[in-house]
Amino acid sequence: MSSLIELRGVSKVYEGNEGRAALDDVSLAVEAGELTAIMGPSGSGKSTLLNLVAGLDRPTKGQVTVDGVDVATLSEARLARFRCERFGFVFQFFNLLPNLTVLDNVLLPAELLGTRGREAATKARDLLAQLGIADREREHPGRLSGGERQRVAIARALINRPAVILADEPTGALDSRSGDRVMDLIERLNQGGQTIVLVTHDAKVAGRYAGRIVSLRDGHIEDDARLTSGSGAASDLFRVGSSGAER
Amino acid sequence: MRAVARKALADIRRRRLQALIVASLATLATVVTALAVTLLTTSSSPYRAAFERQNGGHVVAVFDPRFASADQVAATARGPAVEAHGGPWPVANLPFQARAGKVQLQVVARDDPGGVDALRIARGRWLRRDGEIVLTQSLAEAERVAIGDDVVDVGAAQGVPLRVVGLAFDVDTGPYPNFMVQPAWVSAEQFRTLAPPGPGGTGYLMVYRLRSAGSAAAIRQGMASIRSGLPDGAVTASISYLAIEQFFDLNGSLILTFLVAFGVIALAAAAAVVANVAAGAVLAGYREIGLTRAIGFSPAQSVLGLMLTILAPALAGAVVGTPLGLLLSVPLVQQSFHALGLPAPGVSPLGALAGLLVVLVVALGAVLPAARAGRLSPVRAISVGSAPPSGRTSRLVPLLRRAGLPRWISLGAGDAYARPLRGALTTVAVLVGVATLTFAFGFARSLDRYIGDTGLTVGRGDVVVQRLGDYPDAAVRRTLDDQPETRLVVSYRSDNLDVSGLSDPVPVQSWRGPSDRLGFHVLQGRWFSRPGEVVAGPAFLKLTRLRVGDSFDASLAGHRSRLLVVGSYFTTNGLGVTLAMDWSTLQGFDPTLEPEAYQVILERGSDVSSYVGRVAASSPSQLEVADLRQVVAQQLAPTRSSVDAILVVLVAVLALIAGLGVFNAVLLTTRERVRDTAVLRTLGMGPGRTVAMVAASGGLIGLLGGALGAPAGVLAYLGVLGLVGNLLGSPFAGSSLDAYSAVSLATLAATGVLVAAMAALLPARWAASSRAAEILRAE
C-alpha cells in the first residue's frame, strides 16, 4: 500500500548556499493516520522538508509524492489548489490575517476552494465551537490570546478536511499551559484519524504526542523511530531509520 | 555630514526602484514646467520686439478716395495725436493666381520699404522696377510661392504677370491664413496698370505712430483725432497693432492657458506621489532609522538623510527634464518667431529654473514624512522591528465582501485605503491623470467640431465660390443654378461699417439669400429677417455697451442709417467685434455693391470635389472655387497642430505621473502585506488570484480616481473653454460643441482603472512569484 506522503531521494540546495544541501538524499514515507514529529537543531532541514511536502518549494533532486501525486508535475496554479485541498497549516506565529474576523480567517481555505458560503460558514462555526472559541467569531485576531489564535489557526487548517495537517512549531509562541492545550487538541485530532506532520525542536512534545519521531541533522535523517505504545517512553521507541529496524 | 551623505548614497543604491520613481516624477514635472515657463517668458515678446525693430505703425487705416482726397488723407498725419506716419500709399484688393491657387492680395504702391512700418526683407530683395512684386513670407510659404515665381493678376487688368522678387515681414499685418488678405507691394507705376478704373476700386493706406498708444483706449482716442474733420465713410478700415499682436499670440495664449493650469496640477500630483514615496521609505526603513538614531544620528540628521535620498534623484530627474522641456518648447516658440522673421531665441534662463522649482516642490512633498523619521523613538523602532500597522482594520473589506466580491478581491481592494493618507494621495494622482485625459479629449473633440461645424465659423456650406475682379454676379449665379447638385446658394460680401461712437470701422458681412439656413449659432435673440436689422458678435455688444433690442447709427460708403440689434451670434471673426446683416440692409447704404463670394449647400451625397472642378472650369481665372470645410481646416491647421501636440504631452505626462503613483502605492502595500500574501499562497491561493488581489488594491484607487477625475476634467474643460471664448471674443456654449456623452465620460472614468491596473501589474506579478516559504521562514 502506498504511503500518504513519500519522499524518495530528495535533495534541496538553495542558491547562494555555497553548494550545501538543506536536505540531502532524504527518503521518507508517512502513512495515513500517523502523527510524525520532525525534529532537529536549527538548520537541520526541518522547515525545508515541510515546505517540500507542502509544495511550497520544489526539490533539486528526487521526488515528493502526496496522496499518489508527484507535486513536481503540478503547475503553480494546480499546486495551489492541491495544497488547499490536501493540507491544513498551523504555523508557529499563527499567521492569521489581521484584517479579517476569526470566522473569516477560518473560512479562507474553504473560500479558496470554492465551497458555498452557507455550507462553509456552518462548518466553520462547528469547528470554532468544537475548539471552544465560538463566542469569538466576530473578533479580530489582535484581540485574542496566543492560545486562542492558535485554535483559530487549527480551525482554519481543518475546514477543508485535509488529508494532512502540517504544523510548524505550533507551540513555539505559546506559554506552556496554552501549548499543552494546543498539543492535546492535536493529539485528539490524530486519535480521530487525522494525519499530522509536526515540526518541533521540543523533545518533550515529540516524545509525549508523536507516534513517530524523525530526527534530522545537517539535511540527513539521523534517526527515525516509531513508538510501539502510546506512552511515549524513550525505551518504547521502535527505530525505522536507514539502518533498518532494531530493538 | 559625511556620514549622513554616505548613508543616503547607500540607501539610494539599495532602493534603486524608489530612486527611479522619484527621478521619473521629477523629469515629467520638469518637462511640463519648463515648457510652461519658456512659453510664458517668450510668448509676448517676439511681436513687440519685431514691432519696435520695424518701427511699426500703431494704427493702419485705409481711406476711401470718394470721401477723402490724397491731400486730406495726408493732412491727417499733421494732427496732434500723430508722432510719425507712412503713406498715403495707393492700395487695392486684387485677385492673383499663385502656384497653389488664387489669392486675394492687398496691393500697395510703395517705392520705399523704410520709414514707419519698415518692411524687412526675409528673402530676395526689394522692388527695383515695374513687373515685380514683393509678397509676405507667411503667404508665400503657405501657397508655396518661391522667389522667381510669377503671380498673375486675374482681376480687371487681366493676366498681368508679376515676378516675385522678395518676401517681406510686415509687422502691421497678421499672419496668413489668419489674415486671408495679405499685403503685397509693387511700384507706384506698376500699381497704375493694375488698379481697377474709377475711385471705388482703390484706396489710400496710411500707417500712424501715435504719441500715446499704450492701450486700446489711447489708440481709439488717437484714431478719433485722426478721423475728426473727415466726412463719414472716409475711413473704410483700420486695425491697431494691439489687435494684430493678439492674433500672433492667439496660439501661444491658448497653449499657455493649458500649460500653466496643467503645469501647476502636474507639480501638485508629483508632490503627492513623492510624499507617498517618502512616507513609504520611512515605513520601510523604520528599524534602520531606529538603529542609526541609536548609534548617534541626531533627529535633524535622520531628517536630512531621508531628504537626501529623495532630493538627489529628484535633482537628477530635473537635470534630465529641463533640456527635454526646453527642446519641446522650441517648435512652438519657433512658430511665432519665424512668422515675424526673428531668429528663435536661445534657451530662456527662466526656463532652466523650472528644474529648481520642481526640486523645491519635491522637497515640500517629502518634508513631513522626513520629519516623522526625526521624531521616531529609536528604542521602540528597534524593538518593534517594523513600522506599526495601519492601526485600523479596513472597513472596506467586509463591505466589499458583502457586495459579493471574491475574498481575494475584497482583501486586495480593502488594502487600497488601509493607510488613508497614502490612498488619498494616490487617488489624487489618478484623479489628475484622468482629469487631464478628460479635458484633452473634450478639447480635441471640440476643436474637431469647431472645424467641422462651419456654422461656428463661416456658416454651413459645402463649397465656397469667390468672384474675382469684374466677373459678373449673374454669371456666377447662372453657373451655380445650372449644377444639378446645387441645393442652396447664399452669397455675401464683407465691408466695414462706421459705427457711431467707435473710432475703428467694424467688419460686417451682408448676406443675400436665406442666410438663416446657414446654421450660425444664435446666442441671444434671433437672426435678422428684415431690412435694418443686424446680429452682432458678443465682443461688439461688449465694446459698444449695446444690448439686443438697442439701435445705433452706422454709415457705409457715405450713407448713414439706423440699425437695430436683433440678436447676438457666435463668431470669432474680428475677435467677435463684427456684425451680420441682410443684403437689403446693405443696399440701403449702397445699392451698387455686389457679392464677393457664394456659399453653396449641395444635395446630400454629392461629390464635392467634382462639383468644385466643374464650377471652376466655367471661369478658371476669375472664380476661386474650394471645398468650404477644407478652407476652414486649412485656416485652423496651425492652431490644431500646436494644440494637439501640447495635449499629447500633457496627457502623457499626467498619465505617467498617475501610473507611477499607483505603482509606488501598490508596491509599498505589497511589501507591507508580503507575509499575509505568503500565508494566503500557502493556504492555496494560486498565482492568478494573487495577481488579482494585488491589482484590486490599485484598481479601487483607479476606480475612485477615475470617478472623480472625469467630472473634474469636464470642469477644467468648461473653465478653459470660457477662457478661450474670451480670447476669441465669443463665449462657447458647452452644448454647441457637445464634447461629451455618457458613454464617453464613463469610458474616460474607466481609464483610471486601466492605468491603475497596468501600474499594479508589475508589483502583482512580483507578489505572485515571490517565494512564500522563504517569506514565512524569514519571520
Quote ipTM for the complex.
Answer: 0.84
Residue of A47, A52, A56 to mutate when probing chain B, most B C-beta within 10 A: A56
Is A246 part of a structural domain of the chain? Answer: no
Separation in Å, CA of A80 to nearest CA in chain B: 4
The residue with greater pLDDT, A99 or B314, is: B314
Q: Per mean pLDDT, which range of A50-64, A227-241, B143-157, B505-519 is the poorest?
A: A227-241
Mean pLDDT of all residues belonging to chain B = 86
Chain A residues inside the 8 Å CB shell of B385:
none
Closest CA to B305 of B10, B11, B4: B4
d(CA A240, CA A31): 13
Confidence of residue B381 (pLDDT cuts 50, 70, 90): low
Give pLDDT, residue B43: 54
Give pLDDT, residue B268: 83
Which residue from A95, A112, A140 is facing B685, i.e. has the nearest CB?
A112
B679 and A54 within 8 Å at the Cβ level: the answer is: no
A85 and B684 within 8 Å at the Cβ level: the answer is: yes
| pLDDT tens-digit readout, A107-136 | 999 999 988 888 999 999 999 999 999 999
CA dihedral B368, B373, B376, B380 (to 10 degrees): 130
Give pLDDT, residue B384: 58
Provide the percentage of residues in chain B whose pLDDT is more than 70. Answer: 93
A108 and B777 within 8 Å at the Cβ level: the answer is: no
Provide the percentage of residues in chain B whose pLDDT is more than 90. Answer: 41
Residue of A49, A86, A92, A100 to mutate when probing chain B, most B C-beta within 10 A: A100
Q: What is the CATH number of the domain that holds A204?
A: 3.40.50.300
Is A36 part of a structural domain of the chain? Answer: yes
Confidence of residue B326 (pLDDT cuts 50, 70, 90): confident
Is A238 part of a structural domain of the chain? Answer: no
Give pLDDT, residue B537: 94
The residue with greater pLDDT, A61 or B725, is: A61
Q: Minimal Cα distance from A168: which residue of B?
A: B777
Helices (H), B453-591: 473-482, 538-544, 583-589
| Residues ≥6 apart with Cβ < 8 Å to B264 | none
Which residue from B397, B408, B684 is facing A99, i.e. has the nearest CB?
B397
Enter the DSSP assignment of B262: H
pLDDT at A236 > cutoff 70: no
End-to-end alpha carbon distance in chain A: 25
Separation in Å, CA of B316 to nearest CA in chain A: 34
A56 and B773 within 8 Å at the Cβ level: the answer is: yes
| Phi, psi of A53, rounded to the nearest 5 degrees | -65, -40
Is A23 part of a structural domain of the chain? Answer: yes
Separation in Å, CA of A182 to nearest CA in chain B: 20
∠B278-B284-B289 over CA atoms, to 5°? 85
Average pLDDT on A11-23 reads 80
Average pLDDT on B711-716 reads 93
Q: Per mean pLDDT, which range of A232-246, B301-315, B502-516 is the poorest?
A: A232-246
Instruction: Kindly provide the b/e burial profile for residues B538-561, where b requires at least 16 CB atoms within 10 angstroms of the residue's own CB.
Output: bbbbebbebebeeebebbbbeeeb
Read off the amino acid at residue A177: R
∠B439-B440-B443 over CA atoms, to 5°? 85
Q: Per mean pLDDT, which range of B198-202, B208-212, B507-511 is the poorest?
A: B198-202
| pLDDT tens-digit readout, B88-131 | 999 998 888 888 778 889 999 999 999 898 898 989 999 999 99
pTM: 0.82
**Three-state SS for B83?**
strand
Which residue from B676, B681, B779 is facing A97, i.e. has the nearest CB?
B676
A111 and B776 within 8 Å at the Cβ level: the answer is: no
pLDDT at B339 > cutoff 90: no
Closest CA to B730 of B521, B533, B544: B521
B683 and A91 within 8 Å at the Cβ level: the answer is: no
CB atoms within 10 A of CB B562: 10
Which residue from B675, B679, B686 is facing A81, i.e. has the nearest CB?
B686
Is A232 part of a structural domain of the chain? Answer: no
Chain B residues inside the 8 Å CB shell of A140:
393
Is A71 part of a structural domain of the chain? Answer: yes
Which residue from A47, A76, A108 is facing B686, i.e. has the nearest CB?
A76
Q: Per mean pLDDT, which range of A47-61, B442-456, B689-703 is the poorest?
A: B442-456
Is A189 part of a structural domain of the chain? Answer: yes
Residue of B399, B407, B669, B683 to mutate when probing chain A, most A C-beta within 10 A: B683
- What's the number of domains chain A is made of? 1
CA atoms within 13 A on the CB side of B197: 3
Chain B residues inside the 8 Å CB shell of A47:
773, 777
H or E segment to which residue B72 belongs: helix B70-75
Average pLDDT on B536-557 reads 94
Q: Minimal Cα distance from A111: which residue of B?
A: B407
Which residue from B680, B682, B687 is facing A56, i.e. has the nearest CB?
B682
Which residue from B407, B682, B687 is facing A76, i.e. has the nearest CB?
B687
Interface of B with A (CB under 8 A): 389, 393-394, 397, 401, 406-408, 411, 414, 418, 675-676, 679-689, 771-773, 776-777, 779
pLDDT at B532 > cutoff 80: yes
Chain B residues inside the 8 Å CB shell of A98:
389, 393, 676
B407 and A97 within 8 Å at the Cβ level: the answer is: no
Give pLDDT, residue A234: 43
A76 and B680 within 8 Å at the Cβ level: the answer is: no
Closest CA to B25 of B365, B253, B305: B365
Separation in Å, CA of B391 to nearest CA in chain A: 10
A47 and B397 within 8 Å at the Cβ level: the answer is: no
Residue of A14, A47, A97 to mutate when probing chain B, most B C-beta within 10 A: A97
A95 in Cβ contact with A152 (< 8 Å): no
C-alpha A20 chain-centroid distance: 25
Which residue from B683, B686, B688 is facing A89, i.e. has the nearest CB?
B683
Q: Write out the residue range of the structural domain in which residue A9 sits.
A: 3-226
Is A245 part of a structural domain of the chain? Answer: no
Cis omega before residue B88 (within 30°)? yes
**Three-state SS for B530?**
coil
A80 and B777 within 8 Å at the Cβ level: the answer is: no
Average pLDDT on A75-94 reads 91
- Please say whether the dihedral angle defined by the alpha carbons of residues B431, B437, B443 and B446, taken in this order, is positive or negative: negative
Closest CA to B762 of B644, B686, B662: B662
Mean pLDDT of all residues belonging to chain A = 87
Give pLDDT, residue A242: 42
pLDDT at B13 > cutoff 70: yes
| pLDDT tens-digit readout, B739-754 | 899 999 999 999 999 9
Separation in Å, CA of A228 to nearest CA in chain B: 33
d(CA A27, CA A7): 5
Average pLDDT on B281-306 reads 78
Separation in Å, CA of B19 to nearest CA in chain A: 27
Most confident of B48-52, B179-183, B221-225, B370-374: B221-225
A/B interface, count of CB pairs below 8 Å: 78
Average pLDDT on A142-166 reads 94
A84 and B684 within 8 Å at the Cβ level: the answer is: yes
Most confident of B243-252, B307-316, B636-645: B307-316
